[in-house]
Each structure stands twice: as structure tokens, then as C-alpha cells.
Amino acid sequence: MIEISEMASSQIHEMLRHHDIPDLFLRVGVVDGGCSGLSYDLRFDDSQSAEDLIYEIDGLKVLVDSSSEEYLRGLKIDYKAQGMTGGFTMDNPNVKASCGCGASFRTATYRGKAQKC
């Protein structure tokens, strides 16, 4: 379903240590927004719902809401260090178009409405 690189997993584990809150999940999803239609939602969450799919990936408890699942099949999450900063990257085989800044995307099955950037 979702793949998380060793570098991304290490970064996520480090971030979880700083939060020092037991039983946090990594929530991965998509939300309507951006000039192409969808944006990624990557955050920590301490609760899950009946609609969530739960995965165990490299010791991480990952939640995906069922409405996002079709857009995230095959997603690869990585972390790239760039000089003194870094960030998570998403390699999603479902993406058919993305905006120029890379903040939003569209898939073949997405039927929502794109917004202006």
C-alpha cells in the first residue's frame, strides 16, 4: 500500500520522540485543495476512526482514511536533506498532473474541482 524509506522512517521516529506523546499515529491522507485538486495530509494523530485503515510500517503505526486510499496506493514517502533543511517527498504512481509548485496533484479518478493557486 504505502512504502516509507529508511531515511523518512528515521526522521518520523525522531519527530515522534520529540513529541513524547504515547500512541501517536502517522496519518497519511489527501484533502481537497490546491490548483490541481488534491494535497497531501501528513501529520501525527492520537485517535483513529472506524473508517481508518491501519498499517504497521517499520515500527510506525500508519493510518489512512478509507476515502484517501485509492489516491495513495503505491505511494512512496522519502525524506531528502537539502543543505541545512530537508523535507518529505511523495512519489505517487497515481498522479496524472501536478501544479508548478508541486504542492497539489490530480489523479485519473479524481472528480473534484481544482482551485486557483
Residue 97 has φ and ψ, to the nearest 5°, of -155, 150
- Percent of the chain, pLDDT > 90? 61
Q: State the average pLDDT for the chain.
A: 87
Q: Examine residue 117 and state whether it is found in any structural domain, yes or no.
A: no
DSSP annotation of 117 reads -
116 pLDDT higher than 70: no
> Cα(36)–Cα(29) distance, rounded to whole angstroms?
16
Kindly state the DSSP code that residue 112 receives in the 8-state scheme.
S
Return the CATH number at 95.
2.60.300.12
In a domain, 112, yes or no: no
Judge whether 75 lies within some domain: yes
- Residue-wise DSSP of 21-78: -TTPEEEEEEEE-SSSSEEEEEEEES---TTEEEEEETTEEEEEETTTHHHHTTEEEE
Range from 2-11, 54-63, 83-92, 107-116 carrying the lowest mean pLDDT: 107-116
pTM of the predicted structure, to 2 decimals:
0.85
* Count: domains in the chain: 1
Considering only residues 72 and 22, tell me which one the structure prediction assigns the higher pLDDT.
72
Considering the domain boundaries, does residue 88 fall inside one?
yes
Tell me whether residue 19 is in a domain.
Answer: yes
Task: Please tell me the predicted confidence (pLDDT) of residue 37.
Answer: 83
- In this predicted model, what pLDDT tens digit does every residue of 28-43 receive, in sequence order? 999 987 777 899 999 9
